[in-house]
Chains A and B, each alone.
Chain A
């Protein structure tokens, strides 16, 4: 197959994918999105003859627009524009999960400091304020007090970008010092890891330690539902365990395994997997390319049938 890879940076994640595709003899065209121009009707020349485009844009804004252009051109893209549009925005992400009945942390959105303060007071302390667009734990605030809430909201309201005036506030979930990242293809888990940290943020990008995690049936079910909720594709589904006490907690109070449930806090659409690939036995890029091959085969068969 002929694969186009959209990028603005070749990270180790993209390198793993490129190597896997080339090792299997697939033709790969790397497309640096910084150099492209997008016409309303005609795709750029670099997209000629592609069977599928893999969106590995680092910038969310580029990802959203380019996937939309590709949709208009009729060029298959992973992930779809619909998925990118939902996953790129935390409010849309939460709404999609809630609409599908997937357990997700209690979240509210407001547009003024006053209304946001009312939500904070309702949730109590601590609660969490997140930017609607952003990643890697950046600009996330755990609000511990009224004075902190006032200061953070005031700062955000003066930051300039209108998106900072969309106040996305979430209940604080008492997780056991870790969360779970699942890489999934159309809801089928490829591999999973726990990200552990003494810090309340457990992003790998924030230095959390990672370890392979075996998903139980409930987690697998939620990964499938969360994937379906955002339109499927190659996704990073983030879950937190609920009903589990931390390692430092009272062992007498430790819950039994049957008490463990999960809440899905986010689904990521241009998922990074280098940390996961290092942590697990599964060959993540190989499984992703298996999936891409099957997807392209399926679409070509469909095209032949309808021709």
Chain B
């Protein structure tokens, strides 16, 4: 079984590799653009640009 899967970077249109255990909601850094992308579905794996940081985010 492959350790990676691919999906389209919504910003650049390039196919990028993701770990095979990605989860819905997971944030990944696009190797193509450096932007933060959110995994919004798994079948098929679909990415969207992650929401911008908001003021009340934190720990």
The verdict on A133 contacting B56 (CB below 8 Å), with A9-B38, A9-B50 known, is: yes
Q: How far is the CA of A201 from the CA of B4 in the complex (A)?
A: 37
Cβ contact of B23, chosen from A15, A60, A135, A270, cutoff 8 A: A15
Q: A141 at the A/B interface (Cβ < 8 Å)?
A: no
Q: A289 at the A/B interface (Cβ < 8 Å)?
A: no
Cβ contact of B27, chosen from A9, A18, A32, A272, cutoff 8 A: A9
Shortest Cβ distance from B40 into chain A, in angstroms? 10
Q: A301 at the A/B interface (Cβ < 8 Å)?
A: no
Max chain A Cβ within 10 angstroms of own Cβ: one of B27, B55, B57, B59: B59
Chain B at the A interface: mostly helix, strand, loop or mixed?
A: loop
Q: For A10, what are the chain B residues with a Cβ–Cβ distance below 8 Å?
A: 23-27, 39
Q: B43 at the A/B interface (Cβ < 8 Å)?
A: no
Cβ contact of A30, chosen from B25, B38, B50, B59, cutoff 8 A: B25
Cβ–Cβ contact B25 & A60, under 8 A: no
Q: How far is the CA of A152 from the CA of B24 in the complex (A)?
A: 40
Q: How far is the CA of A216 from the CA of B58 in the complex (A)?
A: 28
Q: How far is the CA of A210 from the CA of B50 in the complex (A)?
A: 27
Cβ–Cβ contact A58 & B25, under 8 A: no
Shortest Cβ distance from B53 into chain A, in angstroms? 9
The verdict on A272 contacting B55 (CB below 8 Å), with A7-B25, A8-B25, A30-B23 known, is: no
Q: For A236, what are the chain B residues with a Cβ–Cβ distance below 8 Å?
A: 59
Shortest Cβ distance from A234 into chain B, in angstroms? 11
Cβ–Cβ contact A59 & B54, under 8 A: yes
Q: How far is the CA of A236 from the CA of B59 in the complex (A)?
A: 9
Q: How far is the CA of A47 from the CA of B46 in the complex (A)?
A: 26
- Over the window 248-270 of chain A, the binary record of Cβ atoms lying under 8 Å from chain B Cβ atoms (1 yes, 0 no) is 00000000000000000000111
In chain B, positions 1-59 with a C-beta closer than 8 Å to chain A are 23-27, 38-39, 50-51, 54-59
Q: A124 at the A/B interface (Cβ < 8 Å)?
A: no
Q: For A269, what are the chain B residues with a Cβ–Cβ distance below 8 Å?
A: 59
Cβ–Cβ contact B55 & A161, under 8 A: yes
Q: For B27, what are the chain A residues with a Cβ–Cβ distance below 8 Å?
A: 9-11
In chain A, positions 206-236 with a C-beta closer than 8 Å to chain B are 236
Q: Which residues of B contact A (CB under 8 A)?
A: 23-27, 38-39, 50-51, 54-59
Taking A59-B54, A268-B58, A272-B59 as given, write out 14 further A-B residue pairs in contact, using a Cβ cutoff of 8 Å, ordered by the A residue number. Answer: A7-B25, A9-B26, A10-B25, A14-B25, A15-B23, A30-B23, A30-B25, A58-B57, A60-B56, A133-B55, A134-B55, A136-B59, A138-B58, A271-B59
